[in-house]
Structure formats: C-alpha cells, structure tokens
Amino acid sequence: MMADGDGVIRVLLADEQSLFRDAVKVVLSSESDLLVVGEAGDGIQAVSEAERVRPDVALLDASLPNCDGIRATQQISLRVPTCRVIVFSAQEDEQILVQALEAGASGYLSKGSALVDLIDATRAVHRGDALIPPRMLGALLKRLIHRRRERDEALKRMSKLTRREREVLALLSQGSDNDGIAQHLVISPETARTHIQNVLGKLGVHSRLEAAAFVTQNGLLDDLAGVTG
C-alpha cells in the first residue's frame, strides 16, 4: 500500500501542542521514507487536512480540542478510507484504546513510547498491520470477550420476541411513539402499547428508552434492520 511511486509514507500529524508536533516532525523527517505533509492543532482541522492532503497515515492525539481524536478518527476513516490512523494519548488508557479501534484506528500508542516506536508504528500500520501495546493486549481481549458475552445474551433475549414485537422494537429504537408505531404497523394504539409492554418484559428492561438503549448498546440495529419493511 504505497501512496506514491517513490515509496514515501505521507504523514498527517495532529496534536494541540505545537512543540510536540515540531519535535515529532523533526524526528519523522529524518527518516527517508517518512514525510510530514500536514499538521493540525485540533480535530476539525485534522479532518479537513486529511481530506486535503490525503495522507497515508494520520497520527492523532486522542484529546484534540474541537472534535477529539476519536471522533476525528471516525471522520477520517469515513472520508479518507485509504488513510490509516494511529491514536496516541498521554497515558496508556484501555478505554481510549478500545474507542480508537472501534472508530477505525489501526494502532494506538501512549506518549510515553519512544520516538523510535512511533516511527516503527507508522511503518507498521502503513504495511497494514494493527498495532496494540502488548501490555494492553490481555485487557483488550478480556473486554472483547465481555462484550461478546453481552451481545450473545442480548441476542438470546431478542430471540424471544415475535416478528411483530421485533418490528415494534425496531420502530422504538428509531424513536417512534405509540401512535407512530400503530400507524406504521396499521394497528391500534392500544395494541401497540400491548406489544411494547411485551417487548419490555421479554428484554428485561423497564422503559422504552432503556429498550432503545439495549438495541444500540448491543449493536443490534443491523439485526433489526429491514423488519419494519
């Protein structure tokens, strides 16, 4: 995956601190295969610079002002899909690592890492590798397992719903009220209310809001997609 013919990896660097950017830029520029083609001091600028210069790799601080590094990663992944993103943060933070990977980042580093690690990381993600600090690997896997268990449990509960109740849940999670659900499904509001009560009972939640949260938090929107026709 080379961006240009001479094999140079074009890098976008985003950090609020210009001193940090300058230091990293000097180090990266000393490598013959790395070229800093853009800089940004906040998240919005990072996204627009990524669209403008279309770098091979973007190095983003997680705590950028005006659209943090995680949201900027999401945007860059959407708008410049060829760009690989590395997120870095002040300390190793499992939460940030997970959020960064979910947002589409290919790698994560803490600012405590050696600069040579940043250089290696830039090359590695450009090659297509994923980069996770080894010390965080176990905790990350644990979190993935936990999430998978929760999703399996959620799917188990959702499997108890009838087709009609799944339609009701889909509409609920899209923000429809009783009348909206009734109208969409061509049923009476009373019947809609009964379906909703059944859905809440089977899912083990106490409110419509909780039901909607159940769907989004467990990533079940795709499983419900299409049931409302």
Partner 1 sequence: MSVLIRKGFPTRKPQVWLRQTDNENAVFDPETEVVHLMNSTATAIWVLCDGETTPDEMIDAICELSGLPREVVVEDVRRILLRFEEADILTWKE
Decide if residue 115 touches partner 1 (CB under 8 A).
no
- Sheet containing 34-40: give its strands across: 34-40, 9-14, 57-61, 84-89, 107-110
DSSP label at residue 91:
S
# residues contacting partner 1 (CB under 8 A)? 14
Stretch that binds partner 1, among 40-48, 81-89, 132-140, 162-170 (CB under 8 A): 132-140
Give the 3-state DSSP-derived string for 27-67, with helices as H, strands as E and coil as C.
HHHCCCCEEEEEEECCHHHHHHHHHHHCCCEEEEECCCCCC
Stretch that binds partner 1, among 24-32, 54-62, 69-77, 126-134 (CB under 8 A): 126-134
Q: Where are the beta strands (DSSP E) in the chain?
A: 9-14, 34-40, 57-61, 84-89, 107-110
Decide if residue 140 touches partner 1 (CB under 8 A).
yes
Alpha carbon distance 23, 5 (integer Å): 27
Alpha carbon distance 62, 136 (integer Å): 17
Stretch that binds partner 1, among 7-15, 16-24, 83-91, 141-149 (CB under 8 A): 141-149
Decide if residue 132 touches partner 1 (CB under 8 A).
yes
Decide if residue 130 touches partner 1 (CB under 8 A).
yes
Nearer to partner 1, 16 or 92 (CB): 92
Alpha carbon distance 189, 181 (integer Å): 8
Residue in 107, 30, 93 with CA at minimum distance from that of residue 63: 93
Residues numbered 145 to 184 that lie near partner 1 (CB under 8 A) are 145, 148-149
Q: Which of 1, 2, 137, 209 binds partner 1 (CB under 8 A)?
A: 137
Residues numbered 19 to 78 that lie near partner 1 (CB under 8 A) are none
Decide if residue 127 touches partner 1 (CB under 8 A).
no
Alpha carbon distance 199, 161 (integer Å): 7
Q: Which of 78, 90, 139, 221 binds partner 1 (CB under 8 A)?
A: 139
Smallest distance, partner 1 to C-beta of residue 112, A: 9
Smallest distance, partner 1 to C-beta of residue 131, A: 12
What residue ranges bind partner 1 (CB under 8 A)? Answer: 130, 132, 134-135, 137-142, 144-145, 148-149
